[in-house]
Structure 1
Amino acid sequence: MVDKEAVLDGYDTVARVYTEERSRSDKEHKALSSLLHFLSLESRVLDAGCGGGKPVLRQLSSQLQQTIGLDFSTKQLEIAASKAPEATLLCGDMTQVPLTDGCVDAIFASHSLIHIPADTHQTVIDEFARVLRPGGRLLVSEGPQKWEGTNRNWLDAGAEMQWDIAGPETTRAQLETAGFHIETEYGAPNTLDEDEDEEAGWIFFETTLTHS
């Protein structure tokens, strides 16, 4: 099972390296463009697990008036403050999102659910349903298959990172349990590896909240 403190220490340690690695790829462009298609300038959007703010939060805040970045790493948020200065930044846990009920129009959660213990994934998805307005949009990424593992020298930066990937079947069921209707799902290659084949990459679930 994922150790939350180990993940936090890892993200704090690799904060700048991770931000630069993420900045080299725009492979979430398709998912982000799809989300933005359903939003207006005034829409309020949460980037759950925003990291250092690049590339997602920066793009959202450049196109929308109300963007929120949530992360539990203060080191990552310090970087996000410079990369996406227009965004509101919150330090917190996705199992207890520090927002009121029904206050956001959309949530983008890319490469964040996978670092949380699998037995709390439903709790996180339920929290997303709580803070979304009815009819709100959620875009969440998941690995192509169930897997749990550790890299003790992630990004060659001397930091340990852990993953607890539930897999698409479990995530589909959890989304539906929370009241989400899956509009579509499609693959997105690992944003930290430009050479990875798309078929081996991540899956994005694009969903609409029908009830909570």
Structure 2
Amino acid sequence: MGETTEEAGYESIRIDRSGQAEAFDVIGDRYDEAFPYKAGQVSAGKFLAETLDRGSRVLDLGCGTGLPTARQLSDAGFEVTGVDLSGEMVRLAREYVPKATFHQIDIADLRPGGPQDLGRFDAAVAFFSLLMLPRAEIPLALSTIHHLLVPDGLFVLSMVEADVDDFTISFLHTNIRVSGYIREDLIQVVEEAGFEILDEDSYTYAPAISDVPPEEQIFLRCRRTG
């Protein structure tokens, strides 16, 4: 059999994670201190809790410390699997949300034919995790998520609205690289990956620290098509 689009796509780019996981290993709990009011994530979790059947499998991509999302979804009666590139974030998530399962995995490893196979999920969330990827990889990550979902599976995505690509910023006194889109471009990329957008919300958020400016957060509630 030939390569899938995702396999061929990942083979055509150079994946560079240098410093990204290490930065979040250092940040640890300070992330939750800087972003204590995650209204958009809580609202999205409530949407899934009201829509999915108990026992549904939900994937939390870039789960961080597991707060609030993995805990909220686990408390709603779902079988939650979280993945994160940072070993420290995975350690904290296992401590804070013992009913869920967490793995230190790169999203690229979940692609069809990749080295990790976690099965299929009824829903997936990616809250501010895809912004850690260069733009060339984001469509591949979205296609991977499409592959991981059952037909008509739900997907909730959040990104910071910004026209940047693999741009270095100072975040909690640590350098990380981030990417973003303006709203119209983000919607186009998501739809081209095979998702129907059911609803969208936006929040202007000022982190509870001084070195990160206010940001416009976009939340898209989607359904897998095809």
Of 161-170 and 103-112, more deviation after overlay is shown by: 161-170
Q: Which residue of 1 aligns with 2:59?
A: 46
Match of 1:179 among 194, 197, 205: 194
Instruction: Give the letter aligned to residue 69 of structure 1.
Output: G
Deviation at 1:14, TM superposition (A): 0.6
Deviation at 1:146, TM superposition (A): 1.4
- Counterpart check, 1:34 vs 2:47: yes
- Counterpart check, 1:61 vs 2:74: yes
Instruction: Give the letter aligned to residue 221 of structure 2.
Output: E
Cα separation, 2, equivalents of 1:144 and 1:26: 16
Match of 1:10 among 3, 8, 23: 23
Maintained 8 Å contact 2:33/2:208: no
Q: What is the SS of the residue equivalent to 1:36?
A: helix
Q: Could you report, residue by residue, the CA deviation over 1:100-159 in whole angstroms, capped at 9, with x for unpaired residues?
A: 55x10001110111111111000100000000000100000122231243233x22xx42
Q: Which residue of 1 aligns with 2:122?
A: 105
Q: Which residue of 1 aligns with 2:132?
A: 115
TM-score by length of 2: 0.81
Deviation at 1:202, TM superposition (A): 0.7
Change in CA separation of 1:191 and 1:130 when aligned onto 2, cut-off 3 Å? farther
Structure 1 stretches of 5 or more lacking a match? none
Structure 2 stretches of 5 or more lacking a match? 1-14, 111-115
Q: Could you report, residue by residue, the CA deviation over 1:144-185 in whole angstroms, capped at 9, with x for unpaired residues?
A: 231243233x22xx4212211133233222222221111111
TM-score by length of 1: 0.86
Cα separation, 1, equivalents of 2:140 and 2:87: 23
Cα separation, 1, equivalents of 2:61 and 2:132: 12
Maintained 8 Å contact 1:142/1:167: no
Question: Could you list the runs of 4 or more consecutive aligned residues of structure 1 that deviate by over 6 angstroms after TM superposition?
Answer: 194-198
Identical residues among aligned pairs (%): 25
**More RCO (CA 8 Å, sep 6+):** 1
Cα separation, 2, equivalents of 1:173 and 1:50: 25
Match of 2:176 among 158, 161, 186: 161
Of 87-96 and 116-125, more deviation after overlay is shown by: 87-96
Q: Which residue of 1 aligns with 2:222?
A: 207
Between Structure 1 and Structure 2, how many residues are aligned?
205
Cα separation, 2, equivalents of 1:94 and 1:167: 23
Instruction: Give the letter aligned to residue 71 of structure 2.
Output: R
Change in CA separation of 1:203 and 1:65 when aligned onto 2, cut-off 3 Å? closer
Cα separation, 1, equivalents of 2:164 and 2:221: 22
Cα separation, 1, equivalents of 2:140 and 2:181: 13
Cα separation, 2, equivalents of 1:191 and 1:81: 28
Maintained 8 Å contact 2:197/2:220: yes
- Counterpart check, 1:146 vs 2:159: no
Of 30-39 and 78-87, more deviation after overlay is shown by: 30-39
Instruction: Give the letter aligned to residue 190 of structure 2.
Output: L
Cα separation, 2, equivalents of 1:26 and 1:189: 11
